[in-house]
């Protein structure tokens, strides 16, 4: 499989209109997809529709359901905790997209070059992405310990005072972002590396003749050419950062107080702590709309960036 196939397949699937135009659904292939259609209908589409239905109900587990129309959404609009969780999500997401994109692109430029032990070092670099988030989060929790944690000790070695890490409302989100960056920078690296592998040689040769330096070549040749790949990475990172759950849940459960309570944590607590099923379903609907809208926006930006590239 060539590395360019990701953007290709995404591009094919991206604009529904364009894809449908070339549609030639041959009935004899229906049967192959039938089992998957049935399973997906049961475990994916049914939950979507049921969630939509429940979002209009005032439904607590143990109590009865009552139709409230858009009442849950109206209540959410006034729910301070919900609004704050949106803010936390935005803060977390912006950092957890921008930083991995910058580091991941830089890492891709490094791993694109030949050097001794490249394969081994790349494997090590990629491992965080595969590691079980819960297991790693437990280790981070120990490392963040204010008195006994290794991170504060390492800081003290370079003359920096101890940080409260996840125990201070001001530092908790940046600290959680650090864990997220640790996990997902490799994914960005792999995607951009795929883009670099397909770059043509010629522009660089003529640029060298023209006396361009490394920065110029990166800025004016490499970056525009791999930009579509970076856009794909941005789309994926945005969706994944919005959905981030495991690390936050294990390390802080949304605390201290509600300082790191993102939309997803808020949703979990409403549904499975307070059992407010209708209310939580309304959150899911909002969540879903945000994700779809952002994805469409980013995919649109990607389509445009292809023209500019």
Partner 1 sequence: MNRFVKKLGFYASVFVLVSPAVLVFLWMISLSLKNELDNTAFPPVFIPNPPTLKNYVDVFAQNNFGLYLWNSILVTGGAVLLGLLVGVPAGYGIARGKAHKFAILILVARMTPALSYLIPLFLLFQITGLVGTITALVITHLVITIPIIVWIMIGYFENVPMELEDASRIDGATTWQAFRYVALPLAKPGIVVGGILAFIFSWNNFIFSVVLGGKASRTLPSAVYNSLTFEQISWGPLAAAALLVTLPVLLVTVIAQRQIVAGLSAGGLKDG
The residues in 107-166 that bind partner 1, with binding defined as CB under 8 A, are: 107, 110, 113, 115, 119, 121, 123-136, 138-140, 142-143, 147-148, 150, 153
Q: What are phi and psi of 253, to 5 degrees?
A: 50, 25
Q: Is 215 in the site for partner 1 (CB under 8 A)?
A: no
| C-alpha dihedral, 225 to 290 to 8 to 244, nearest 10° | 80
Q: Is 13 in the site for partner 1 (CB under 8 A)?
A: yes
Task: Figure out which of the listed residues 173, 242, 248, 298 binds partner 1, where binding follows CB under 8 A.
Answer: 242
Secondary structure (3-state) at 260:
coil
CB of 254 to partner 1, least distance (A): 14
Of 29-37, 93-101, 165-173, 301-309, the segment contacting partner 1 by CB under 8 A is 29-37
Taking the mean position of all CA atoms in its chain, how far away is CA 50? 25
CB of 283 to partner 1, least distance (A): 9
* Contacts with partner 1, 75-114, as mask; x by CB under 8 A: ----------------------------x--xx--x--x-
CB of 150 to partner 1, least distance (A): 5
Q: Is 264 in the site for partner 1 (CB under 8 A)?
A: yes
Q: How many positions of this chain bind partner 1 (CB under 8 A)?
A: 97
Which residue, 141 or 202, is less far from partner 1 as judged by CB?
Answer: 141
* Tokens, residue 248: 């936050």
CB of 263 to partner 1, least distance (A): 9
- Beta-sheet pairing, 65-67 with 57-59: antiparallel
Range list of H helices, the chain: 5-13, 16-21, 30-40, 46-54, 71-78, 80-112, 118-130, 133-143, 150-157, 172-197, 202-209, 214-217, 223-243, 246-251, 263-272, 277-308
Is omega for the bond preceding 256 within 30 degrees of 0, making it cis?
yes
Which residues on neighbouring strands pair with residue 58, listed in sequence order?
66
Task: Figure out which of the listed residues 171, 295, 303, 305 binds partner 1, where binding follows CB under 8 A.
Answer: 295
CB of 27 to partner 1, least distance (A): 8
Q: How far apart are CA 15 and CA 299, in angstroms?
A: 8
């Amino acid at each position: 499989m060539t590395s360019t196939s990701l953007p290709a397949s995404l591009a094919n699937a991206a604009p529904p209109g364009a894809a449908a135009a070339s549609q030639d659904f041959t009935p004899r292939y229906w049967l192959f997809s039938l089992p998957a259609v049935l399973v997906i209908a049961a475990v994916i589409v049914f939950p979507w529709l049921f969630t939509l239905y429940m979002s209009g109900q005032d439904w607590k587990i143990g109590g009865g359901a009552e139709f409230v129309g858009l009442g849950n959404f109206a209540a959410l609009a006034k729910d301070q905790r919900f609004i704050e969780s949106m803010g936390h999500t935005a803060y977390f997401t912006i950092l957890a997209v921008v930083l991995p994109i910058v580091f991941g692109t830089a890492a891709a430029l490094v791993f694109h070059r030949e050097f001794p032990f490249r394969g081994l070092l790349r494997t090590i670099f990629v491992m965080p992405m595969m590691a079980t988030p819960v297991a790693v989060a437990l280790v981070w929790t120990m490392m963040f310990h204010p008195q006994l944690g290794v991170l504060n000790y390492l800081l003290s070695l370079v003359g920096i005072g101890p940080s409260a890490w996840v125990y201070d409302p001001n530092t908790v989100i940046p600290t959680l972002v650090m864990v997220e960056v640790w996990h997902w920078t490799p994914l960005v690296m792999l995607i951009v590396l795929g883009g670099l592998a397909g770059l043509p040689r010629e522009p660089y040769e003529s640029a060298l003749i023209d006396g361009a330096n490394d920065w110029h070549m990166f800025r004016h040749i490499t970056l525009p050419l791999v930009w579509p790949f970076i856009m794909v990475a941005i789309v994926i990172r945005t969706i994944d950062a919005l959905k981030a759950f495991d690390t936050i849940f294990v390390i802080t459960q949304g605390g201290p107080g509600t300082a790191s309570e993102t939309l997803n944590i808020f949703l979990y607590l409403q549904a499975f702590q307070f059992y407010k099923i209708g209310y939580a379903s309304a959150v899911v609907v909002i969540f879903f709309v945000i994700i779809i809208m952002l994805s469409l926006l980013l995919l649109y930006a990607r389509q445009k960036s292809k023209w500019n590239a």
